[in-house]
Amino acid sequence: MTTTTTAVTPPEPEAPLQDPFRMLSIAAALLPPEIEIRRRAQLVRRIVLAALLLIGLLMGAWYGLATLETTSAEADVATAEADLRRTTARQSEFSELVKVRADTEAIRTRLTTLLADDLQWSGVFSSTRKAAPESVTINGITGRLATTGKEQNTDDAERTVGALIVTGSGADKQAVTDYITALQKVRGLGNPLLRDAREQEEGVEFTVSVDITGSALGGRYSTTAKPTGTTPSTKTAATARPSGAQRVEGSKKEGN
């Protein structure tokens, strides 16, 4: 007896029903290349125009700001000019004072020029006496200014403009030597030289010559004038012009 086996296959599923109006997923470039190129050119043109418009707006804003600042600066200048005009107009109220001050300054300038080479003898005599130690007594001082045919250079502080002859007495030779050494340190004096020395019962009488240098010159109106000597003199003294030989003698009372 023969047995036959039959395999039963399941039925295939039916295909789903599809919408006849569905969109098919099929893409195709149907536009001509000329239209795509034109569209791209239009996009680039729009971008360029927008950039130009933005630059124009920025330039306009900058110009407006600059104009505003310029207007403000011009207003400030106008205000300053108005203040200057008002101040200038008020100067007429003080014209006399301004004139007096200008005349005073002109006179001071002329005096500074005229008295630049003046020598204050009181300061020279006072400094010469103050340089003497206690053991030295000054009996007399004779001064003379040099006569030169050419104009002297007031900037040369080392030039010789005159000379002093100092007479006095000291306790001994050492005291006289100390006095001569002290004269070398006095501003406006230089080259002290012992001319004569005589021993007496009371001490040593001496005669010393000293040069007057250019640093001793300078009137009281000079801006570069400095006190003569190691200690400024507080006395008010008449000055002597260095033009022409002059002889000024100092007494003991002038130093006290």
pLDDT at 45 over 90: yes
Distance between CA atoms of residues 230 and 216, nearest Å: 12
Q: How far is CA 5 from the centre of its chain?
A: 128
Instruction: Give 115's pLDDT tier (boundaries 50, 70, 90).
Output: low
Pair 161, 150: CB distance under 8 Å: no
Pair 142, 209: CB distance under 8 Å: no
DSSP conformational letter for 217 = B
Q: How far is CA 55 from the centre of its chain?
A: 49
Distance between CA atoms of residues 73 and 203, nearest Å: 87
- Alpha-carbon Rg for the chain, nearest whole angstrom, is 55
The CA–CA distances, whole Å, from 157 to 117, 122, 123, 160, 218 equal: 11, 19, 17, 8, 11
pLDDT at 223 over 70: no
The predicted pLDDT at position 220 comes to: 60
The predicted pLDDT at position 251 comes to: 38
pLDDT at 8 over 90: no
The CA–CA distances, whole Å, from 177 to 14, 146, 187 equal: 150, 27, 18
Instruction: Give 76's pLDDT tier (boundaries 50, 70, 90).
Output: very high
pLDDT at 124 over 70: yes
Closest CA to 253 of 122, 119, 162: 122
32-59 exposure pattern, b = at least 16 Cβ within 10 A, e = fewer: eeeeeeeeeeeeeeeeeeeeeeeeeeee
Least confident span in 44-53, 67-76, 155-164, 205-214: 155-164
Distance between CA atoms of residues 110 and 107, nearest Å: 5
What is the enclosing helix (H) or strand (E) of 97?
helix 95-114
pLDDT at 235 over 80: no
Average pLDDT value for residue range 11-40: 72
What percent of the chain lies above the pLDDT cut of 90?
24
The predicted pLDDT at position 57 comes to: 93
Higher pLDDT, 219 or 147: 147
The predicted pLDDT at position 254 comes to: 40
Least confident span in 4-8, 76-80, 130-134: 4-8
The predicted pLDDT at position 65 comes to: 93
pLDDT at 143 over 90: no
Average pLDDT value for residue range 46-55: 94
The predicted pLDDT at position 232 comes to: 37
